[in-house]
Amino acid sequence: MNGFRRLLNLASLTTRPRPRVGATPADVVHRENKWRLLHYRPAKEARSCHVTPVVLLPSLINRHYVLDLVPGKSFVEYLLGQGHDVFLIDWGIPGAEDRYLSFDDICDRYVGRAVRLAAPETGGRVHLFGYCLGGTIAAIHASLHPHAIASLTLVAAPVTFADEGLLSVWTRSPTFDVGALVDAFGNVPWPLMQAAFHMLRPTLNLSKAVSLVDRAWDDEFLDGFLALETWGNDNVSFPGKAYRTYVEELYRKDALAKGTLRVSGRPARLGSIDCPVHAVTFEHDNIVPWASAAVVLDLVGSKDKERVHLQGGHVGAMVSKSASRGLWPKLSVFWASRDGKSARVMKRSAPRVARGSAG
Protein backbone atom coordinates (compact mmCIF):
# COMPACT_ATOMS: atom_id res chain seq x y z
CA MET A 1 0.00 0.00 0.00
CA ASN A 2 2.81 2.41 0.94
CA GLY A 3 4.59 1.58 -2.32
CA PHE A 4 1.54 2.45 -4.40
CA ARG A 5 1.01 5.67 -2.45
CA ARG A 6 4.68 6.56 -2.93
CA LEU A 7 4.45 6.15 -6.70
CA LEU A 8 1.20 8.12 -6.86
CA ASN A 9 2.65 11.03 -4.87
CA LEU A 10 5.89 11.08 -6.85
CA ALA A 11 3.97 11.08 -10.14
CA SER A 12 1.87 14.07 -9.03
CA LEU A 13 4.69 15.98 -7.34
CA THR A 14 4.87 18.78 -9.91
CA THR A 15 1.13 19.46 -9.68
CA ARG A 16 0.77 18.93 -5.94
CA PRO A 17 -0.40 22.14 -4.22
CA ARG A 18 2.39 23.76 -2.24
CA PRO A 19 1.68 24.18 1.48
CA ARG A 20 0.87 27.73 2.52
CA VAL A 21 3.86 28.94 4.50
CA GLY A 22 3.93 31.70 7.10
CA ALA A 23 0.16 31.59 7.55
CA THR A 24 -0.25 32.26 11.28
CA PRO A 25 -2.47 35.37 11.62
CA ALA A 26 -0.47 38.52 12.38
CA ASP A 27 -0.75 42.30 12.21
CA VAL A 28 1.95 44.48 10.67
CA VAL A 29 2.64 47.04 13.40
CA HIS A 30 5.58 48.78 11.76
CA ARG A 31 7.03 49.20 8.26
CA GLU A 32 10.33 50.85 7.45
CA ASN A 33 12.22 50.60 4.20
CA LYS A 34 11.95 46.86 3.37
CA TRP A 35 11.52 45.43 6.86
CA ARG A 36 8.36 45.10 8.88
CA LEU A 37 7.45 44.03 12.40
CA LEU A 38 4.78 41.33 12.71
CA HIS A 39 2.67 40.99 15.85
CA TYR A 40 0.95 37.61 16.01
CA ARG A 41 -2.59 37.30 17.24
CA PRO A 42 -3.05 35.29 20.44
CA ALA A 43 -4.18 31.69 20.22
CA LYS A 44 -7.75 31.16 21.35
CA GLU A 45 -6.78 28.03 23.26
CA ALA A 46 -4.11 29.79 25.36
CA ARG A 47 -5.36 29.84 28.97
CA SER A 48 -2.77 32.30 30.26
CA CYS A 49 -0.34 34.82 28.94
CA HIS A 50 3.19 35.75 29.80
CA VAL A 51 3.79 39.42 30.31
CA THR A 52 7.15 39.90 28.60
CA PRO A 53 6.95 39.86 24.79
CA VAL A 54 9.16 37.57 22.73
CA VAL A 55 10.84 39.23 19.72
CA LEU A 56 12.14 36.81 17.10
CA LEU A 57 15.04 37.69 14.77
CA PRO A 58 15.58 35.35 11.81
CA SER A 59 18.66 35.41 9.61
CA LEU A 60 19.11 38.24 7.10
CA ILE A 61 19.70 35.91 4.17
CA ASN A 62 16.64 33.67 4.49
CA ARG A 63 12.97 34.49 4.76
CA HIS A 64 11.39 34.98 8.17
CA TYR A 65 8.76 32.28 7.82
CA VAL A 66 11.19 29.49 8.67
CA LEU A 67 9.94 30.25 12.19
CA ASP A 68 6.33 30.00 11.02
CA LEU A 69 6.54 27.26 8.44
CA VAL A 70 3.26 25.33 8.39
CA PRO A 71 0.76 24.30 11.09
CA GLY A 72 2.38 21.69 13.30
CA LYS A 73 5.86 22.86 12.26
CA SER A 74 5.51 26.49 13.26
CA PHE A 75 7.57 27.75 16.19
CA VAL A 76 5.39 30.87 16.26
CA GLU A 77 2.20 28.82 16.44
CA TYR A 78 3.63 26.77 19.30
CA LEU A 79 4.62 29.85 21.33
CA LEU A 80 1.17 31.38 20.90
CA GLY A 81 -0.36 28.18 22.21
CA GLN A 82 1.83 28.51 25.31
CA GLY A 83 0.56 32.04 25.94
CA HIS A 84 3.54 34.06 24.73
CA ASP A 85 3.13 37.46 23.09
CA VAL A 86 5.10 37.01 19.86
CA PHE A 87 6.69 39.55 17.50
CA LEU A 88 8.86 38.72 14.52
CA ILE A 89 10.99 40.83 12.19
CA ASP A 90 10.52 40.17 8.49
CA TRP A 91 13.66 41.68 6.98
CA GLY A 92 12.06 41.82 3.54
CA ILE A 93 13.88 41.82 0.23
CA PRO A 94 16.56 44.50 -0.26
CA GLY A 95 16.62 46.41 -3.51
CA ALA A 96 19.56 47.92 -5.36
CA GLU A 97 19.11 51.11 -3.35
CA ASP A 98 19.92 49.19 -0.13
CA ARG A 99 23.57 48.62 -1.03
CA TYR A 100 24.49 51.32 1.50
CA LEU A 101 22.41 49.86 4.34
CA SER A 102 24.85 49.47 7.22
CA PHE A 103 25.39 47.03 10.04
CA ASP A 104 24.59 49.94 12.37
CA ASP A 105 21.17 50.37 10.72
CA ILE A 106 20.31 46.70 11.10
CA CYS A 107 21.79 45.74 14.47
CA ASP A 108 21.11 48.97 16.33
CA ARG A 109 18.38 51.11 14.76
CA TYR A 110 16.07 48.52 13.22
CA VAL A 111 16.19 46.03 16.07
CA GLY A 112 15.95 48.86 18.58
CA ARG A 113 12.73 50.12 17.02
CA ALA A 114 11.27 46.61 17.00
CA VAL A 115 12.09 46.15 20.68
CA ARG A 116 10.59 49.48 21.70
CA LEU A 117 7.41 48.88 19.71
CA ALA A 118 6.98 45.39 21.13
CA ALA A 119 7.30 46.33 24.77
CA PRO A 120 5.61 49.62 25.68
CA GLU A 121 3.90 47.92 28.66
CA THR A 122 7.03 46.27 30.10
CA GLY A 123 9.30 49.27 30.19
CA GLY A 124 10.82 48.35 26.85
CA ARG A 125 12.12 44.95 28.00
CA VAL A 126 11.68 41.86 25.83
CA HIS A 127 12.85 38.29 25.53
CA LEU A 128 15.09 38.59 22.47
CA PHE A 129 15.52 35.48 20.31
CA GLY A 130 17.89 35.11 17.37
CA TYR A 131 18.33 32.24 14.94
CA CYS A 132 21.55 31.82 12.93
CA LEU A 133 22.80 35.27 11.80
CA GLY A 134 19.71 36.67 13.52
CA GLY A 135 21.27 35.43 16.75
CA THR A 136 24.52 37.24 16.02
CA ILE A 137 22.51 40.42 15.43
CA ALA A 138 20.55 39.82 18.65
CA ALA A 139 23.77 39.39 20.65
CA ILE A 140 25.21 42.61 19.20
CA HIS A 141 22.03 44.54 20.01
CA ALA A 142 21.91 43.14 23.55
CA SER A 143 25.51 44.21 24.10
CA LEU A 144 24.60 47.77 23.07
CA HIS A 145 21.33 47.96 25.01
CA PRO A 146 21.47 45.46 27.88
CA HIS A 147 18.83 47.40 29.84
CA ALA A 148 16.19 46.58 27.19
CA ILE A 149 16.68 42.82 27.17
CA ALA A 150 14.91 40.64 29.74
CA SER A 151 16.63 37.55 28.36
CA LEU A 152 18.67 36.58 25.32
CA THR A 153 18.21 33.30 23.44
CA LEU A 154 20.59 32.37 20.63
CA VAL A 155 19.94 29.33 18.45
CA ALA A 156 22.78 28.12 16.20
CA ALA A 157 24.16 31.67 16.28
CA PRO A 158 27.84 32.24 15.46
CA VAL A 159 29.60 34.49 17.96
CA THR A 160 33.21 33.69 17.18
CA PHE A 161 34.29 33.28 13.57
CA ALA A 162 37.82 32.01 14.23
CA ASP A 163 36.85 28.38 13.65
CA GLU A 164 38.31 26.19 10.94
CA GLY A 165 34.99 25.45 9.26
CA LEU A 166 35.01 25.58 5.48
CA LEU A 167 32.90 28.74 5.29
CA SER A 168 35.14 30.59 7.74
CA VAL A 169 38.35 29.50 6.02
CA TRP A 170 37.00 30.47 2.60
CA THR A 171 35.79 33.89 3.81
CA ARG A 172 39.12 34.66 5.49
CA SER A 173 41.11 33.67 2.41
CA PRO A 174 43.05 36.57 0.81
CA THR A 175 41.64 35.53 -2.56
CA PHE A 176 38.13 36.41 -1.33
CA ASP A 177 38.00 40.09 -2.24
CA VAL A 178 34.92 41.35 -0.43
CA GLY A 179 35.53 44.93 -1.61
CA ALA A 180 35.54 43.94 -5.27
CA LEU A 181 32.43 41.83 -4.74
CA VAL A 182 30.45 44.65 -3.14
CA ASP A 183 31.71 47.24 -5.61
CA ALA A 184 30.68 45.04 -8.52
CA PHE A 185 27.25 43.91 -7.34
CA GLY A 186 26.14 46.41 -4.70
CA ASN A 187 24.14 43.83 -2.76
CA VAL A 188 25.72 40.37 -2.58
CA PRO A 189 23.58 38.15 -4.86
CA TRP A 190 21.72 35.36 -3.12
CA PRO A 191 22.75 32.71 -5.72
CA LEU A 192 26.38 33.32 -4.76
CA MET A 193 25.66 32.84 -1.07
CA GLN A 194 23.49 29.80 -1.73
CA ALA A 195 26.32 28.24 -3.75
CA ALA A 196 28.65 28.80 -0.79
CA PHE A 197 26.27 26.94 1.54
CA HIS A 198 25.92 24.09 -0.95
CA MET A 199 29.71 23.89 -0.92
CA LEU A 200 29.52 22.92 2.75
CA ARG A 201 27.53 19.80 1.93
CA PRO A 202 27.79 18.92 -1.77
CA THR A 203 25.66 15.77 -1.39
CA LEU A 204 22.73 17.56 0.24
CA ASN A 205 20.47 17.55 -2.81
CA LEU A 206 21.12 13.85 -3.40
CA SER A 207 20.38 13.10 0.24
CA LYS A 208 17.10 15.01 0.04
CA ALA A 209 16.11 13.16 -3.13
CA VAL A 210 16.71 9.79 -1.47
CA SER A 211 14.67 10.84 1.56
CA LEU A 212 11.87 12.08 -0.69
CA VAL A 213 11.62 8.81 -2.60
CA ASP A 214 11.78 6.78 0.59
CA ARG A 215 8.95 8.67 2.34
CA ALA A 216 6.85 9.94 -0.55
CA TRP A 217 3.95 7.77 0.66
CA ASP A 218 3.67 9.96 3.80
CA ASP A 219 1.53 12.99 2.92
CA GLU A 220 2.40 14.83 6.12
CA PHE A 221 6.12 14.35 5.46
CA LEU A 222 5.68 15.42 1.86
CA ASP A 223 3.89 18.64 2.80
CA GLY A 224 6.60 19.46 5.32
CA PHE A 225 9.31 18.66 2.78
CA LEU A 226 7.77 20.94 0.16
CA ALA A 227 7.28 23.74 2.69
CA LEU A 228 10.93 23.57 3.71
CA GLU A 229 12.02 23.46 0.07
CA THR A 230 9.89 26.55 -0.60
CA TRP A 231 11.71 28.37 2.19
CA GLY A 232 15.14 26.98 1.25
CA ASN A 233 14.81 28.34 -2.28
CA ASP A 234 13.35 31.70 -1.27
CA ASN A 235 16.63 33.46 -0.52
CA VAL A 236 17.44 37.16 -0.52
CA SER A 237 20.55 39.17 -1.28
CA PHE A 238 22.72 40.74 1.44
CA PRO A 239 22.98 44.56 1.61
CA GLY A 240 26.48 45.39 0.37
CA LYS A 241 27.76 47.77 3.05
CA ALA A 242 26.49 45.53 5.85
CA TYR A 243 28.07 42.49 4.19
CA ARG A 244 31.43 44.23 3.99
CA THR A 245 31.32 44.88 7.76
CA TYR A 246 30.11 41.33 8.40
CA VAL A 247 33.09 39.81 6.59
CA GLU A 248 35.81 42.27 7.55
CA GLU A 249 34.90 42.77 11.21
CA LEU A 250 33.35 39.45 12.25
CA TYR A 251 35.01 36.84 10.04
CA ARG A 252 38.42 38.39 9.52
CA LYS A 253 38.95 40.24 12.79
CA ASP A 254 36.66 38.12 15.02
CA ALA A 255 35.76 41.50 16.52
CA LEU A 256 32.56 40.44 18.32
CA ALA A 257 34.27 37.69 20.30
CA LYS A 258 37.33 39.85 20.96
CA GLY A 259 35.26 42.82 22.14
CA THR A 260 36.61 45.22 19.51
CA LEU A 261 33.47 45.58 17.38
CA ARG A 262 31.97 49.07 17.24
CA VAL A 263 28.38 49.69 16.17
CA SER A 264 26.94 53.20 15.86
CA GLY A 265 30.24 54.48 17.23
CA ARG A 266 29.91 52.44 20.43
CA PRO A 267 31.72 49.29 21.59
CA ALA A 268 29.62 46.13 21.31
CA ARG A 269 31.03 44.11 24.20
CA LEU A 270 29.37 40.83 25.08
CA GLY A 271 30.59 41.22 28.65
CA SER A 272 28.03 44.00 29.15
CA ILE A 273 25.16 41.50 28.74
CA ASP A 274 23.91 40.63 32.21
CA CYS A 275 20.43 39.22 31.49
CA PRO A 276 19.65 35.47 31.44
CA VAL A 277 21.25 33.90 28.36
CA HIS A 278 20.16 30.69 26.64
CA ALA A 279 22.46 29.21 23.97
CA VAL A 280 21.25 26.36 21.75
CA THR A 281 23.75 24.41 19.65
CA PHE A 282 23.41 21.46 17.27
CA GLU A 283 25.86 18.58 17.04
CA HIS A 284 25.66 18.14 13.28
CA ASP A 285 25.40 21.79 12.27
CA ASN A 286 27.54 22.12 9.13
CA ILE A 287 26.83 25.86 8.78
CA VAL A 288 27.56 27.07 12.33
CA PRO A 289 29.99 24.76 14.19
CA TRP A 290 28.57 24.26 17.66
CA ALA A 291 31.71 25.53 19.40
CA SER A 292 31.39 28.87 17.56
CA ALA A 293 27.93 29.31 19.06
CA ALA A 294 28.51 27.85 22.54
CA VAL A 295 31.37 30.24 23.33
CA VAL A 296 28.92 33.08 23.98
CA LEU A 297 28.31 31.71 27.47
CA ASP A 298 32.00 32.27 28.28
CA LEU A 299 31.89 35.85 27.04
CA VAL A 300 28.69 37.34 28.50
CA GLY A 301 28.57 38.88 31.95
CA SER A 302 25.41 37.00 32.91
CA LYS A 303 25.23 34.76 35.96
CA ASP A 304 22.03 33.10 34.78
CA LYS A 305 23.00 31.19 31.64
CA GLU A 306 22.12 27.84 30.12
CA ARG A 307 23.21 25.77 27.15
CA VAL A 308 21.13 23.19 25.31
CA HIS A 309 23.05 20.92 22.96
CA LEU A 310 21.02 18.71 20.64
CA GLN A 311 21.56 16.23 17.86
CA GLY A 312 20.58 17.34 14.38
CA GLY A 313 21.53 19.93 11.80
CA HIS A 314 21.20 23.65 11.39
CA VAL A 315 17.63 23.67 10.04
CA GLY A 316 16.09 20.32 10.92
CA ALA A 317 16.82 20.60 14.63
CA MET A 318 14.94 23.91 14.77
CA VAL A 319 12.07 23.13 12.36
CA SER A 320 10.77 19.60 12.83
CA LYS A 321 8.41 17.44 14.82
CA SER A 322 11.24 16.54 17.17
CA ALA A 323 11.85 20.26 17.78
CA SER A 324 8.18 20.74 18.68
CA ARG A 325 8.51 17.99 21.29
CA GLY A 326 11.95 18.87 22.64
CA LEU A 327 13.53 22.22 21.83
CA TRP A 328 10.44 24.42 21.63
CA PRO A 329 9.13 23.43 25.09
CA LYS A 330 12.59 24.12 26.56
CA LEU A 331 12.58 27.62 25.08
CA SER A 332 9.05 28.33 26.30
CA VAL A 333 9.89 27.17 29.84
CA PHE A 334 13.06 29.29 29.86
CA TRP A 335 11.04 32.43 29.08
CA ALA A 336 8.07 31.58 31.29
CA SER A 337 10.28 30.93 34.31
CA ARG A 338 11.89 34.35 33.88
CA ASP A 339 8.77 36.30 33.07
CA GLY A 340 8.19 37.85 36.47
CA LYS A 341 4.45 37.23 36.47
CA SER A 342 1.71 35.84 34.25
CA ALA A 343 -1.94 36.67 33.76
CA ARG A 344 -4.71 34.10 33.64
CA VAL A 345 -6.59 35.86 30.88
CA MET A 346 -4.98 36.92 27.63
CA LYS A 347 -5.09 40.68 27.29
CA ARG A 348 -4.13 42.32 24.04
CA SER A 349 -4.77 45.81 22.81
CA ALA A 350 -6.40 46.38 19.43
CA PRO A 351 -4.05 45.88 16.49
CA ARG A 352 -1.83 48.92 16.05
CA VAL A 353 -1.59 50.82 12.83
CA ALA A 354 1.58 50.11 10.93
CA ARG A 355 4.05 52.96 11.17
CA GLY A 356 6.49 54.15 8.58
CA SER A 357 6.20 53.55 4.88
CA ALA A 358 6.85 50.55 2.73
CA GLY A 359 10.06 50.80 0.77
Enumerate the active-site residues.
Answer: 132, 285, 314
Apex 219 CA angle, 216 and 225, nearest 5: 70
CA 179 to chain centre: 27
Distance in Å from the first CA to the final CA of the chain: 52
Q: Give the whole-angstrom CA distance, residue 52 versus residue 201.
A: 39
**Amino acid identity, residue 30?**
H
Task: Give yes or no for a contact between 306 and 334, defined as CB atoms under 8 angstroms apart.
Answer: yes
Q: Give the whole-angstrom CA distance, residue 222 versus residue 266.
A: 48
